[in-house]
Amino acid sequence: MAMARRPLSPHWQIYRFAYTMALSILHRATGLVLSLGLLLLVAWLASAATGPDCYAAFLQFAASWPVKVVLAGGIAAFCYHLANGIRHLLWDLGMGLERAEARRSGRIVVVASLLLAALLVWIFLRPGATP
């Protein structure tokens, strides 16, 4: 009897793309973005530790529109990663594991992270906001 030629473990060619799969991939991607964002945080802290002139130069750099776009993306990544992380913690407690519940919690995560990100971007990056 010949053995069927199939993969030994599941991989991306086996699964049909699903909404929850996209959320899982996005969770990993936002974790990577947040890790890279630490470089900007370290630069801010180093400029503050270096002295007032260096800190003023950093604030001028941070006030530019390209940096504000990066900061807005970082805020959005943080909000999504936080909301989805809470979802994962609930899964670890055995809650929301059914397919319908997982899809519903995924929608809640997306809406909550968008609303929170919009609020935080408005608070921190609006014109006239003080650093």
Q: What's the average model confidence in pLDDT over 44-60?
A: 97
Query: CA-CA distances (angstroms) from residue 1 to 4, 127?
Result: 9, 72
pLDDT in tens, 74-125: 999 999 999 999 999 999 999 999 999 999 999 999 999 999 999 999 999 9
Share of the chain above pLDDT 70, in %: 89
Q: What is the 3-state secondary structure (H, E, C) of 77-89?
A: HHHHHHHHHHHHH
Q: What's the average model confidence in pLDDT over 49-53?
A: 97
What is the pLDDT at residue 21? 87
CATH number of 19-125: 1.20.1300.10
Name the residue ranges covered by the structural domains of the chain. Answer: 19-125
Query: CA-CA distances (angstroms) from residue 22 to 27, 51, 88, 108, 123?
Result: 9, 44, 15, 14, 29
Per-residue burial over 67-105, b if 16 or more Cβ lie within 10 Å, else e, is eeebbbebbbbbbbbbbbeebeeeeeeeebeeeeebeeb
CA–CA gap between residue 92 and residue 17 (Å, rounded): 23
- Average pLDDT across the chain, whole number: 91
1 vs 56, higher pLDDT:
56
Task: Evaluate whether 40 touches 123 at the Cβ level (below 8 Å).
Answer: no
pLDDT in tens, 20-50: 889 999 999 999 999 999 999 999 999 999 9
